[in-house]
């Protein structure tokens, strides 16, 4: 157990589960099933409102990326979520499509007048 886990167990924000090996620690959120359901509905509505409000910005980014260069506007990235479950996230492409082939590069622009 590391320092963060020890702190969470001591402050009762995390429960040490000695019965299972799959999930050694479980985070306690203190919400009932009804409260979790209500929270999920409000989270969904909030996310929907956020998407509607930011939609014009997304369109501007898509147009700018198509004008700037070739390649797809979006790319999929695999992430690890709650309980170690894999999921895919759709992201705007912010680098050129050959960036991974070229490898890491740190460039500093130095100008002398």
**Mean per-residue pLDDT for 40-63?**
95
- Quickly tell me which residue has 């004008």 as its tokens: 67
Confidence of residue 50 (pLDDT cuts 50, 70, 90): very high
Q: What is the pLDDT of residues 71-105, one digit of tens each?
A: 788 888 888 887 888 999 988 877 776 766 776 66
Token pair recorded at residue 100: 């991974």
Burial group, residue 3, by CB count within 10 angstroms (0-12, 13-18, 19+) = exposed
As a dihedral over the C-alpha atoms of residue 82, residue 86, residue 87, residue 93, rounded to 10 degrees, the angle is 110
pLDDT at 88: 92
Q: pLDDT per residue over 3-25, tens digit each?
A: 666 666 666 555 555 444 444 55
């Amino acid at each position: 157990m590391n320092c963060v886990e020890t702190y969470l167990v001591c402050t009762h924000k995390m429960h040490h589960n000695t019965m299972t090996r799959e999930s050694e620690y479980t985070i306690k959120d203190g919400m009932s099933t009804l409260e979790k359901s209500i929270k999920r509905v409000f989270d969904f509505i909030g996310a929907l409102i956020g998407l509607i409000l930011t939609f014009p910005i997304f369109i501007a980014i898509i147009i700018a990326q198509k004008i700037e260069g070739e390649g797809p506007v979006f790319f999929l990235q695999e992430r690890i979520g709650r309980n170690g479950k894999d999921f895919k996230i759709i992201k705007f492409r912010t680098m050129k499509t050959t960036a991974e082939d070229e490898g890491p590069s740190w460039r500093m622009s130095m100008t002398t007048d």
